[in-house]
Amino acid sequence: MQQSFPGISPEISEWRGQDIVNFQEELLQKINAQISEKWFYTHMKSRQDALPRIDVLNFLSKYVGYHDWNDFIHRNENKYASARFKSGNRYFVIVPLLVIMVLGALYLIFKFYNTQEYNFCFYDAVTKEPIVNTVIEVSLLYENESPVNYLCDSTGCFTLKTDQGLVKMLIKSPYFKSDTIRRQLKKFNRNEMIGLRINEYALMLRYFSEMNVEDWKKRRAKLDEIFDDDALIYQVIDSRRATGMELYSKLEFIDKLTMPSRSLKNIEILDTKYVGNQIIVLQFRIKAE
């Protein structure tokens, strides 16, 4: 229509009187088809969900250069799909983005509210006294993750900041038995006290290293009872120049522990492993005076 009538409005809804007559004549001359004025007002100047009859759609398609209505749909479906996508972008992009932002904000608020500091302290389960000035290693155990390790301070305590409701931890200390602890955390009670059982053999070894040698026969007999015949005993050697290990058999270690030596008074047990009631692996070091 703009090619035949350059002055006509590009908005069909604005066509009046003579514009409609010109359109009717255009259709009659170029495709030998007719529409009534009533049809024009019904379909072109009002919004209806229903499409016109297929025969009308066919000749209107032919008027604008297509074979028929199906040809028009086939050649324009990508263009109209793109147009529909662009018009719906704000719904398919903005709305999900807003949902994600809201959920993210709620998650951060939840994490902030639920993340608390918990103080864990350890005590001797027999004497009920705090375990102080002793190495206590705490390994937090999470599913499908490597352990997270902490060392307690000189007061036998450590602080954990978490949003978890349940924690599982492995506790290791040279003179106390290793233990796996599970704790249900409570927000209104953030101070946890955990009792550890004494490692009698480790304490006994330290005691033997400090006692007088006069009673060495009894000491050797007890040491022979404590250690497995195939025990592996390591002395960790730590100096400013080098770090290494020295390996002892059961008999060699018993000899070392029953011979007079001032250095043995500084023995420190690092780790022990058991088979039944006997030590199968021992790690120790001699602390420098």
Q: Give the model's confidence band at 255: pLDDT under 50 very low, under 70 low, under 90 confident, else very high.
A: confident
pLDDT of residue 143: 82
Average pLDDT, the chain: 81
Q: Whose CA is closest to 51, among 69, 68, 65, 36?
A: 69
Say yes or no to pLDDT of 239 above 70: no
Q: What pLDDT does residue 237 have? A: 81
Per-residue pLDDT for 121 more than 90?
yes
Check pLDDT > 70 for residue 85: no
Are 152 and 160 in contact by the 8 Å Cβ rule? The answer is: no
- With a cut of 90, say whether residue 198 has pLDDT above it: no
In this structure, the dihedral spanned by the alpha carbons of residues 53, 56, 60 and 63, taken in order and rounded to 10 degrees, is 160
* pLDDT at residue 96, as a whole number: 77
Q: Residue with structure tokens 């020295």?
A: 246
| Predicted local confidence at residue 113, as pLDDT | 62
Write phi, then psi, for 142 (nearest 5 degrees): -120, 145
Cβ proximity of 148 and 160 under 8 Å: no
Sorting pLDDT into bands at 50, 70 and 90, what band is 238?
Answer: low
pLDDT at 246 over 60: yes
* Phi, psi (degrees; rounded to nearest 5) at 244: -160, -165
Instruction: Identify the residue with better confidence: 260 or 221.
Output: 221
Query: Under a CB-based contact definition with an 8 Å cutoff, are residues 136 and 150 in contact?
Result: no
Quote the CA–CA distance of 52 and 287 in Å, as a whole number: 99
pTM of the entire predicted model: 0.46
Cβ atoms of residues 192 and 116 within 8 Å: no
Share of the chain above pLDDT 70, in %: 84
- The DSSP H or E segment spanning 167 is strand 166-173
pLDDT tier, 110 (very low <50, low <70, confident <90, very high otherwise): low
Is the per-residue pLDDT at 10 higher than 60?
yes
Work out the pLDDT band at 138, boundaries 50, 70, 90: very high
Domains recognised in the chain with CATH numbers: 114-196 (2.60.40.10), 200-286 (no CATH)
CA distance 68 to 116: 71
Most confidently modeled range among 35-39, 94-98, 135-139: 135-139
CB neighbourhood size of 226 (10 A)? 20
Average pLDDT over residues 246-258: 86
Read off the DSSP letter of residue 74.
Answer: H
- Residue 112 or 235, more confident: 235
Does 213 have pLDDT greater than 60?
Answer: no
pLDDT tens profile 29-71: 888 888 888 888 888 877 766 778 888 888 898 989 898 988 8
